[in-house]
Structure 1
Amino acid sequence: MTDEHIMPYFIGGAHVLKEASCDNCARITSKFELDVSRDLWGDARISYNAPSRRKKKRPTSILMRDEHNPGHKIKVPVEDYPAVMVFYRMPKAGILQGLPETVDLSNNWELVSPVDTDKIDRFTAKYGQRPVMSFKNTPDSFARLLAKIAYGQALCSLSPDDFRPICIPYILGQKKNLSYIVGGRWSYSDMKPQLGYEMRTNCIKFPGKLLIIVEIQILPNNSTPTYHVVVGDVDGEEESDRIYKKIEATYSFDIINAGSYKPVNNDIFHWMPSYWPLPAWK
């Protein structure tokens, strides 16, 4: 068994689950992590000197298309290049909207990115053209990465036997519609300058059922989306009570004792279900 970073090392993750992955699972997760680290965020990670196990091999310049000479490239030192960190803005996960698993919402995901306008202006003045950004669109790998982060976060409070892990088939690629369990907050949270990433384990208690949801924000010191992942659920009143008390959640909702359930429209609680009971639980 190998150690597993909850938030990947390549984005500064410092929290590790010891002996958490078998070799086969580690190979699967490393593939989609590589898609994100190199294809989606490769130039940005180089430009901002993100953590790497091979920093000595990291390039010192980035080739960029020359808008004045088609077919030619400009060699830009990494310190000058205003690379962007690309994210996906997502609606609420399908399961929380009461949708069947066959409904794919990923066509509604939008590419977004915080930008350093000062660095872009300096680049434009120096090179006589606006910077040209290159990246590969990897929505499935990005969503699988979020699901893996969420599962690791849940295991900081719970053991694998405490709940049914809804997310695992999606992490391992056995199920394809990531938008069913992965979603996000449509508006942006306030920036938190001191934080490189933030994760919360939340839970909602229904009659005889507990839903475990993890909230994730990567680089909350910028205007980046906040995501949620439906990690798993718990069956039975007694077991739900036990796990409900075990989770040290920032937000927990006990629908049983509240007496009634109303859809939550406030975007702060973007991970709250819109419908109850969820059709997927029947």
Structure 2
Amino acid sequence: MEAKYRSADVCIYCQFLSDEKRKVYDQSELSKEHLLAYSLGGTVTLRKASCKYHRDLTSAFELDVSQRSYRHYRDFHGVQSRGPQEERDARLSREVPITVEGYDGKKGFRLVAKGEIPLPFIFPRITQLPTILTGLPYMSEIGLAFVTEPPDQRDVDRFLRKHRIKTFTATSDGFVIGSPQFFQMLAKTAHAFLWAEKEGKGFAPLLMDIIEGVNVNLDYCLTYIGEDPGGAKSEEELSLEEVTREGVTYFVADIAIKAIKQLPSYKVVAGIKMDVG
């Protein structure tokens, strides 16, 4: 793993909680924290940066994204995984039923290996600028949509030719609409990256409620970047910029999950710049 940053030697989440709440969580064994989840291609870590409570908390929602939402994609494209290759191969070879229509017009069911099926890709597209920057109320019916990107037509054509069928219908393992875990994952990544870049100083965090699942309106500080559904990705997987609005300077993290190429880049307003005393 890439060790780009010094050891934190403090839980980067508990640091911003009240003294009373922080005492509840055991600080004696701090573990390393991937800025971006390992299962989503992350390689950069922050050593001694998470208490057991927050390690388990962040691992749970990152696991939800990588397993429940995008496991098929990760298996299909060989994204890095802690599990043995044998388990991945077993999932891909497991036969699942699909609905097919033959060239003769007859419809029926057929069992095929899951790893062969070209599935659509579903992801959240956030078009409304963060309300913390605009002052406008967040409107989920306008600002948030779930985009279904069809599979590559070449993969579809190969699949149809191999099984000698005209059409097929399969159930996607795609993004679970309405699931907050995806946004918790983005918030955690932005917070951890900001902490690493600033070594925990000079900012007031904005994302702790989202990370801890307290704030159910998870979209107020997120925005989709890119003109087309695939989204033009940033050159760097993680980058940081400063944006000033009405005399207040915000730290904005740009997150490009390159291991899942169909995901666009996202920007997350992670904190407010503060004077370092």
TM-score range, shorter chain: 0.7 to 0.9
Percent identical pairs in the alignment equals 25
Matched, 1:163 2:200: no
| Deviation at residue 148 of structure 1 after TM alignment | 1.2
Corresponding letter in the other structure for 2:180: D
Structure 1 contact 81–123 (Cα < 8 Å) conserved? yes
Contact kept, 8 Å, 1:165 with 1:232, in 2: the verdict is yes
Does the 8 A contact of 1:191 with 1:220 survive in 2? no
Deviation digits for residues 32-81 of structure 1, max 9, x if unmatched? 11111111101111111221111232224244432149995623152x23
Q: Specify the alignment match of 2:17 in structure 1.
A: none
Aligned residues: 232
Q: 1:94 aligns with which of 131, 143, 153?
A: 131
Matches within 5 A, 1:98-247: 98-100=135-137, 103=138, 105=140, 108-113=144-149, 115-127=151-163, 128=165, 129-130=167-168, 132-135=170-173, 137-138=176-177, 139-185=179-225, 187-188=227-228, 189-190=231-232, 198-205=237-244, 209-219=248-258, 222=261, 224-235=263-274, 239=275
Q: Distance in 1 between matches of 2:141 and 2:196?
A: 29
What is the root-mean-square deviation of aligned Cα atoms in Å? 2.9
Residue of structure 2 in register with 1:34 after alignment: 63
Query: What is aligned with 2:50?
Result: 21
Cα deviation for residue 167 of structure 1 reads 0.8
SS of 2:219's equivalent in the other structure is helix
Distance in structure 1 (CA, Å) of the matches to 2:233 and 2:254: 16
User: Where in structure 2 are there 5+ consecutive unaligned residues?
Assistant: 1-29, 102-106
- The answer to whether the 8 A contact 1:82-1:131 is kept is no
**Residue of structure 1 equivalent to 2:22:** none
Q: Does 1:61 align with 2:81?
A: no
Once residues 114 and 214 of structure 1 are traced to their aligned partners in structure 2, the CA distance between those partners, rounded to angstroms, is: 29
* TM-score between the two structures when normalised by the length of structure 1: 0.71
CA contact (8 A) 2:93 2:114 kept: yes
Aligned counterparts of 2:168 and 2:249: Cα–Cα separation in 1:
51
